[in-house]
Structure 1
């Protein structure tokens, strides 16, 4: 049996995603056997993190003590949690390890420094441990080759979005609102524009962090439906200041993470604001302003790329009704014309879309397909992303 033949045993791919919100593990069971290489979601599974695990993850977003020990103990711990979730998915679907061709493991990003000297990115959730525990081949470390080629290593999902919208004639946007928000722009057929994708700035990150700071006894890890934000008033002066941030004003290619947009960043912004204005804002007013900041930083980028189009939302932020309403208002409070909907309108589960993308990246690795987009990341060349880890 050749190496190539050994790779294609089994029927399905599993995509695994653990996002910067650090809320849990998303798994997608995907079939790529369609002759036109279209993906078919067979099943999904979600396993949330307990508070202890979530704190271990988020504590590594910023510099701290004993980082190497903490990071690489967690690297293996997460691999065990990933494997438990995969075993639960297989049990749910009455499948065995032999039914799976490979796991596409994004892992958990704890640092992303694409613009520093000697840029790097770090995703943990050890691929080798995961392969050994599950007895399933793993394809992972998807970002590194793109960065070696001078790219940002992110976002990686626009090329998968392009597959989903291959038959569409219209301009489409996919906006993923996780901890960090990212956008994919798919121009209308026949346009001389190219597919673009980049992080617009904070998604749920600042909203979650500010909520938790003021609701430490709450069982919730986030502001459900934006109800707390809705009790506050937007401060336009603070909003304008936030929109002047260097990352927000930077042009793509660009990517960021919670090591940048975090409570320290927010406290610095508030200190500057208070020194200038001599005003006091309630915690609710700040939350309302942060929600408007997320919506406006996304809408400004959409409107800069096309004056009309269909905007499809996915990620955890879709469930924040106040945020979705603010984004719709911001997009349509202009001469532009956009329709805004969730990916559910296309019969695609927006909560599992990123996990599906990493199943596709594993499939692309096996097929030798180009899976990065230099126009998106800034890499000097196209390539096939990922490394293989055998059981």
Structure 2
């Protein structure tokens, strides 16, 4: 096994599959990449990627088991194995489409499906505990695919007192740092987070954190009002009018002004927050279109407010590079340009698909694990030390 690991470490380039299923529980992104070298010499070539939507019943089961009041331990146990089987199935379908044999793949990097992320410390039986749980067991993926798999990336950072998130900033540092420009690399998935890369930065100069909801709140409202999974191109938001009164109420959410390091998820911006928005909207007699427009505006407002409070005093950004589902929402992109007044670009212009960025990221993080390189950033997660992330399963 050690010989196998050493051989894998030395192989250059490696063909790696990256897997991501996000907080929204919409489905799985599978990215197949060729990764050259490691660390700051890393180069990534995307061979292809594919998205597989989750069955509606499966999505409901995942979301039900992400809420303490409706979760069941037997369902979580089965989901842990079921998701691994679905991941492997999706990998094989993607490889087949690309004409790549599973035996040609060197490694899989899997983020897993987060069902609870609890970065706030609580005392239990005299121990101080932070916790995070991603299911879709990497050990099962490795056995069923026959490909070495790296998973459980967040655990090591949380064990060392970190938030365990965000982890994408290290990837951003490897791929998007510049000698000439201060960059804000923004990902708008279920949750929005950004990475600040000041020109000529070193890894410990990287500053990043979650800013609040990305598409999560808008998606929930779209489902309730229009029975659609998301607001395609921001079309519904464009028909509505932003309500300043509702926006101000949403802006009172304590997470927005909380100092970094910080990370968030469904616990803060899930059904409870959506129900609160519905109550306020009823009091203000707002139309569904106005509510969608305001919730979309709130995502960008939270991004800008976090920048203004915690970044701008030290670094003024020259450009924004966007990825994630939100990159396709025109209303969101216009709002970004309006708030920041700097060029807004997409990661696609840098050879990284804005839809598959996070899946590509976990392929690169798996390569860093195999190479023995720490891939958390203390200034980002608040961990006591830098560490190699993830467990390796054969």
TM-score for the superposition, normalised by structure 1? 0.91
2:31 alignment partner in structure 1: 28
1:312 aligns with 2:318: no
Q: Sort the Cα spacing of 1:92 and 1:231 in 2 relative to 1 into closer, same or farther, 3 A.
A: same
Aligned length: 379
2:112 alignment partner in structure 1: 107
1:323 alignment partner in structure 2: 332
Q: Is the 8 A contact 1:187 1:193 kept in 2?
A: no
Range moving further from structure 2, 36-45 or 292-301: 36-45
Aligned with residue 184 of structure 1, among 168, 181, 195? 195
Aligned-pair CA distance for 1:279: 3.1
Give the alignment of 1:203-214 within 5 angstroms. 203-214=214-225
Aligned-pair CA distance for 1:281: 2.0
Range moving further from structure 2, 146-155 or 278-287: 278-287
Aligned-pair CA distance for 1:111: 1.0
Q: Is the 8 A contact 1:76 1:125 kept in 2?
A: yes
Q: Is the 8 A contact 1:13 1:102 kept in 2?
A: yes
Give the alignment of 1:63-102 within 5 angstroms. 63-102=68-107
Q: Is the 8 A contact 1:11 1:99 kept in 2?
A: no
Deviations 1:46-66 (A, max 9, x none): 212121222222222322345
Q: Is the 8 A contact 1:371 1:382 kept in 2?
A: yes
Give the alignment of 1:215-294 within 5 angstroms. 215-216=226-227, 220-271=228-279, 279-294=284-299
Aligned with residue 376 of structure 1, among 376, 380, 385? 380
More helix as a share of residues: 2
Aligned with residue 143 of structure 1, among 154, 169, 173? 154
2:6 alignment partner in structure 1: 5
DSSP 3-state at the match of 2:274: helix
1:155 aligns with 2:160: no
Q: CA–CA distance in 2 between the matches of 1:191 and 1:366?
A: 22
Aligned-pair CA distance for 1:192: 12
Range moving further from structure 2, 203-212 or 125-134: 125-134
Q: CA–CA distance in 2 between the matches of 1:138 and 1:269?
A: 41
1:39 alignment partner in structure 2: 44
2:300 alignment partner in structure 1: 295
Aligned with residue 339 of structure 1, among 343, 347, 360? 343
Aligned-pair CA distance for 1:142: 0.3
Q: Which runs of 5+ in 1 are unaligned?
A: 333-337
Q: Sort the Cα spacing of 1:190 and 1:29 in 2 relative to 1 into closer, same or farther, 3 A.
A: closer
Deviations 1:76-135 (A, max 9, x none): 111111001111122122222221221001011111110141221111111111111111
Aligned-pair CA distance for 1:377: 0.2
TM-score for the superposition, normalised by structure 2? 0.91
Q: CA–CA distance in 2 between the matches of 1:222 and 1:367?
A: 39
1:14 aligns with 2:17: yes
Q: Is the 8 A contact 2:240 2:293 kept in 1?
A: yes
DSSP 3-state at the match of 1:53: helix
Q: Sort the Cα spacing of 1:193 and 1:70 in 2 relative to 1 into closer, same or farther, 3 A.
A: closer
Q: Is the 8 A contact 2:220 2:274 kept in 1?
A: no
Q: Is the 8 A contact 1:243 1:249 kept in 2?
A: no
Q: CA–CA distance in 2 between the matches of 1:193 and 1:30?
A: 27
Q: Is the 8 A contact 1:303 1:331 kept in 2?
A: no
Q: Sort the Cα spacing of 1:190 and 1:263 in 2 relative to 1 into closer, same or farther, 3 A.
A: closer
Aligned-pair CA distance for 1:7: 3.0
Q: CA–CA distance in 1 between the matches of 2:329 and 2:114?
A: 23
DSSP 3-state at the match of 1:114: strand
2:360 alignment partner in structure 1: 356
DSSP 3-state at the match of 2:43: coil
Q: Is the 8 A contact 1:30 1:40 kept in 2?
A: yes
Q: Is the 8 A contact 1:233 1:284 kept in 2?
A: yes
Q: Is the 8 A contact 1:234 1:292 kept in 2?
A: yes
